[in-house]
Structure 1
Amino acid sequence: MRPTPLAIMAIAAAMFAEPALAISRYNSAALTCDQVRQRVINEGAVILRYPSIRVKGMTLYDRYVTRNAMCDPHEYAERAYVPTRDADRCPVLSCQPFDPEPYRFGKPIIRF
């Protein structure tokens, strides 16, 4: 039996999509701000976990990125802050919903 072009394309797509599913997870409270920022830069996107300030024993987490291109099409990269070992507010970027109505010229660009 000979593989069809559709089957070949499906297998190729699965092979290329698989690495995109892997994303590193780090505890930001165990790292310095420079280490957190460097890991985000090196990997493009990471998940950072950290303890909640308001609710004792609760762990918060989110996906942090280097630029708009790492977000879904309906999102953009917005400034966010995470606690680290050496700083209460380490600047990073997280994907937020994008409403194109107020922005006539596209998504806002915020530098990492």
Structure 2
Amino acid sequence: MKRAVIVLMSSAFLTGAQAQPRPSTLAAPCGASQQLVFARGAIVLGTGGQTYDRFVRDETFCAIGEYAQQAYVPSRDTPWCFVGYRCKQGPRDLWDD
């Protein structure tokens, strides 16, 4: 009985630690990626191949000392899709959008 409980507990732990697939901006139209960012507030999206980044709805999802910078990614229907913002370190540059 104890052995069965240990096996169940360890398998539950291992399945929670597996890598979860992230949505890809290339596989979806621009509007779908925009809606994901807006609905979740902050989300990691794949942007092609092995590249990915964290995108946020607005600056409230950035850490202290960070600011939100407009983010454009490739999507299924356009090469430049505004999905929201990326959090950047340091003071906001006057020339940043």
Does the alignment reach a TM-score above 0.5?
yes
Structure-2 residue corresponding to 1:36: 33
Following the alignment from structure 2 to structure 1, what is the Cα–Cα distance between the partners of residues 76 and 70? 19
TM-score, length-scaled by structure 1: 0.59
TM-score, length-scaled by structure 2: 0.68
Choose between structure 1 and 2 for higher RCO, CA contacts under 8 A separated by at least 6 residues: 2
Give the alignment's Cα RMSD to 1 decimal: 2.3
Q: How many residues align?
A: 75
CA distances 1:70-89 after superposition (whole Å, capped 9, x unpaired): 01111111001111000101
Percent identity, please: 32
Show structure 1 runs of 5+ residues with no match: 1-23, 52-57
CA distances 1:1-40 after superposition (whole Å, capped 9, x unpaired): xxxxxxxxxxxxxxxxxxxxxxx83111001100000010
Show structure 2 runs of 5+ residues with no match: 1-20
Following the alignment from structure 2 to structure 1, what is the Cα–Cα distance between the partners of residues 34 and 50? 20
